[in-house]
Chain A
Amino acid sequence: SYELTQPPSVSVSPGQTASITCSGDKLGDKYACWYQQKPGQSPVLVIHEDSKRPSGIPERFSGSNSGNTATLTITGTQAMDEADYYCQAWDSSTAYVFGGGTKLTVL
């Protein structure tokens, strides 16, 4: 079965750049997307098709995907960006797969 691996936690100072990675076998050959989930809330899509931002998502959120790693980058991180982030991809053998999630701490 296909698996996606994320670091459990990432810390960043306000105003700095946060990078959250998601690794999977030949992930660059698939589309990756990212969700933000704040405590007690439902997930929100922040990136789809590797690098596309849905309407309403701030420009400081960007994505890339190459080789075995997809990366969510938050430029100029704000306190409101503190949340759990999940990557997701689709695989023909496993259907939809999520990474284990990364807790982003802004301190």
Chain B
Amino acid sequence: EVQLVESGGGLVQPGGSLRLSCAASGFTFSNYYMTWVRQAPGKGLEWVANIKQDGSEKYYVDSVKGRFTISRDNAKNSLYLQMNSLRAEDTAVYYCAREFTAVTAEGWFDPWGQGTLVTVSS
């Protein structure tokens, strides 16, 4: 069974840092792009970042560029999101997801983990 399990969320003060982890199992992790998507309380979905199979390419939504860093360890089947200079507007449930891509490079996400809540507040 394909499974993604996030961890590392919690309460952090504005300006603080947090590192999220996503443990993957049930598939060959190194064969897939992986992605992070977040959802603020009561709001919609927002794509945050993704990373190529070998980690050589990384992409971010503008609002987190320079503050968040996505990485992966294929030997440990794990995906990470290092979040620095956190702001109140980063408060959200953060989901990791496996990414599929069509021949056109357009992609979709399946499955998603259960999510981990990050709360940025003083």
Contact surface of A with B, Cβ cutoff 8 Å: 30-31, 33, 35, 42-45, 48-49, 54, 86, 88-90, 95-101
Contacts and interface: CB of A to CB of B under 8 A. Distances in A.
Contacts of A30: 106
B68 interface: no
Interface in B27-52: 35, 37, 44-47, 50
B104 interface: yes
Contact of A44 (B37, B46, B50, B112): B112
The binding surface of chain A is classed by DSSP as strand
Contacts of B37: 43
Contact of B59 (A48, A88, A95): A95
A98 B47 CA distance: 8
A45 B102 CA distance: 15
Given A31-B102, A42-B115, A48 B44 contact: no
Interface of B: 35, 37, 44-47, 50, 59, 61, 95, 100, 102, 104-115
Contacts, number: 57
A42 B95 contact: yes
Contacts of B111: 42, 44-45
19 contacts: A31-B104, A35-B45, A35-B109, A42-B113, A43-B95, A45-B109, A48-B110, A88-B109, A90-B107, A95-B50, A95-B59, A96-B47, A96-B50, A96-B107, A98-B44, A98-B47, A99-B44, A100-B44, A101-B45
B27 to A, nearest CB: 14
Contact of A98 (B46, B59, B112, B115): B46
B61 A49 contact: no
Given A44-B111, A99-B44, A31 B95 contact: no
